[in-house]
Amino acid sequence: MYPIRLSIIGLLIFLMGCSTPSTLVEIKKQPSLPKQFFNTDEQAKGDSMQWDMIVQDPILKSLIDTAIQNNNELQIAYQKIELARSQRQFTKGNLLPQVNVGTSSSLRKFGLYTMDGAGNIATEMTPGKMVPIDLPDFYVGIQSSWEVDIRGRLKNLDKAALSRFFSSQEGYKFVVSTLAADVALSYYELLALDNELIVTRENAKKENEVLAFIKAQREVGKVNELAVQQFTAQYFNLLILEKEILQNIRKEENRLNFLLGRYPTPINRSQSSLYTTNQYLSKGISSSVLENRPDIKAASLRIIASKFDLSAAKAAFYPSFTINAGYGLQAFNTRYFFRSPESIAYNTIGNLVAPLVNKSAIKSQFNAAKINQLEAMYAYQQSILNAYVDVVNDFTEIDHLEEVKKLTINKAKLYEQAVESSFDLYKAARVPYYDVLLSQQNALQTNIELIRIHKRSKISLIQLFKNLGGKW
């Protein structure tokens, strides 16, 4: 009979195994990633790009290090790593037997018209002493429980937790990279405002000199009051612009201090760093460098975790085998605890449990795991596509800005010459005063435009380096 029962149980398990759903996940095929971002003969390595390649300003480096130490968002990201580490410890612990030590005491009374009650009242507990109606019970010992991972469910959950732990580490690196980029962007925004302030003050000084000359001409009747009013209004306009720039500087300093995780304090900076030559990256960089991006690595690890989750969800359809055991001392009175072997109590139970009817909850978990895997796959593909497009746009933006920068430099030189020429011609009474006004306005606007192009060039390079997965 015993072999027949085992055969029946084995057949039942086999049939249940045949009815489990497939873990195969089909996903829409995406276009293959181009080998390079541009068709060029240039070849370049980008496997170990460090921010030091483009961040040459020691003040900026110090600010980024301060932000990494103090920024609250970074601390939150680090806590996510610790949370993932704790979750991994939990799943790893489930693979091992659970052993507990404890004690219990109870007082039981069986009904006299039951099998236990009728038997106890006629039974001697000790020679000459019957079992009392109120029966005390004391126990001290250990209890253990172990789910034997026969289908690998717990191992898959542990592997999924480990993948999520690694994913959280990559997420932390991504936050560090993003923080470094944000600090650099804010720093160069400050430098641009500083230089705009310098240019505005220089123009205000020149405008004041011209205004003094115009007023002197009005005194001798060479110009009318309208000219004085026009130049005075232009001078006030420069003073207003100076106030606006100063306010923007204060706001940007506060934003940078926020990134640094500290309250508003003055920020040292080098205005000339805005004009340093950028170290450009070759367009021949292989597109495979995107795989080094922390966010893409994290997305890839989430796919791996979702695969293990799906395998664990499938294992729930199979029988689970659990062993429960206990060993200790038990007696109706504590003074009999150490009377061996009479007080020794133990038990061993093996449970083989398989879902048979109403599998809706298990099917729901399995379908959810399958959907999560599809979501992770599509998110990974979308992150690759976004990263590729961002890098191409950054390269084209840098090239565009270099061409515009050269043209703007030439335009600024011409307007500077026009300011001198118009003022000299005005003194010689060969051009009207509004030519001087117009040339001054154009020179100021072009100089500010050139500053902003330098800023955009720095920003584009930082964005490119970040999008290529540059590490701090």
> Could you write out the DSSP letters of every residue in 189-227?
HHHHHHHHHHHHHHHHHHHHHHHHHHHHHHHTTSS-HHH
Question: Does 89 share its domain with 107?
Answer: no
**Last residue of one domain, picked from the residues 303, 330, 353:** 353
328 with 142: CB under 8 angstroms?
A: yes
Q: In the predicted model, is pLDDT for residue 468 greater than 90?
A: no
pTM of the model: 0.79
Cα–Cα dist 245/360, whole Å:
65
pLDDT of residue 60: 92
414-424 mean pLDDT: 89
Q: Which of 13, 404, 326 is nearest to 145 (CA)?
A: 326
Question: Does 415 share its domain with 292?
Answer: yes
> Left, alpha or beta for 345 (phi > 0: left; psi -120 to 50: alpha)?
beta
- The H or E element that residue 328 is part of is strand 320-331
pLDDT one-digit tens code per residue, 83-138: 888 888 888 888 888 889 988 888 888 888 888 877 777 777 777 777 788 888 88
Question: Does 411 share its domain with 327?
Answer: no
Range of 240's domain?
22-95+153-317+357-467
Whichever domain contains 335, its CATH number is 2.20.200.10
In SS3 terms, 219-261 reads as HCCCCCHHHHHHHHHHHHHHHHHHHHHHHHHHHHHHHHHHHCC
The answer to whether residue 454 sits within a structural domain is yes
Question: Does 288 share its domain with 143?
Answer: no
Question: Does 144 share its domain with 158?
Answer: no
The answer to whether residue 2 sits within a structural domain is no
pLDDT of residue 27: 63
pLDDT band at residue 16 using 50, 70 and 90 as cut-offs: low
| Percent of the chain scoring above 70 in pLDDT | 89
Number of separate domains in the chain = 2
- What is each CA distance from 219 to 176, 211, 226, 234, in whole angstroms? 64, 12, 13, 20
187-212 mean pLDDT: 93
Whichever domain contains 301, its CATH number is 1.20.1600.10
Question: Does 101 share its domain with 91?
Answer: no
pLDDT one-digit tens code per residue, 227-283: 889 989 999 999 999 999 999 999 999 999 999 999 999 999 988 888 887 666 667
| Percent of the chain scoring above 90 in pLDDT | 28
pLDDT of residue 312: 87
pLDDT of residue 466: 86
pLDDT one-digit tens code per residue, 17-48: 545 677 666 666 666 777 777 766 555 554 45
Most trustworthy range by pLDDT among 121-130, 331-340, 371-380 = 371-380
The answer to whether residue 399 sits within a structural domain is yes
Question: Does 225 share its domain with 127?
Answer: no
**Last residue of one domain, picked from the residues 336, 353, 370:** 353
The answer to whether residue 101 sits within a structural domain is yes
**Last residue of one domain, picked from the residues 308, 328, 353:** 353
Between 108 and 407, the more confident residue is 407
Cα–Cα dist 185/462, whole Å:
8
- The H or E element that residue 145 is part of is strand 134-148
Question: Does 77 share its domain with 193?
Answer: yes
pLDDT of residue 257: 95
Average pLDDT of the chain to the nearest whole number: 85
Cα–Cα dist 148/315, whole Å:
13
pLDDT of residue 87: 86
Question: Does 409 share its domain with 274?
Answer: yes
Question: Does 373 share its domain with 402?
Answer: yes
The answer to whether residue 17 sits within a structural domain is no
The answer to whether residue 10 sits within a structural domain is no
Q: In the predicted model, is pLDDT for residue 295 greater than 70?
A: yes
Question: Does 329 share its domain with 309?
Answer: no
Q: In the predicted model, is pLDDT for residue 291 greater than 60?
A: yes
User: How many C-beta atoms surround the C-beta of residue 374 within 10 A?
Assistant: 15
The answer to whether residue 196 sits within a structural domain is yes
pLDDT band at residue 337 using 50, 70 and 90 as cut-offs: confident
Question: Does 190 share its domain with 101?
Answer: no
pLDDT of residue 28: 63
The answer to whether residue 223 sits within a structural domain is yes
Strands 124-126 and 98-109 turn out to be unpaired
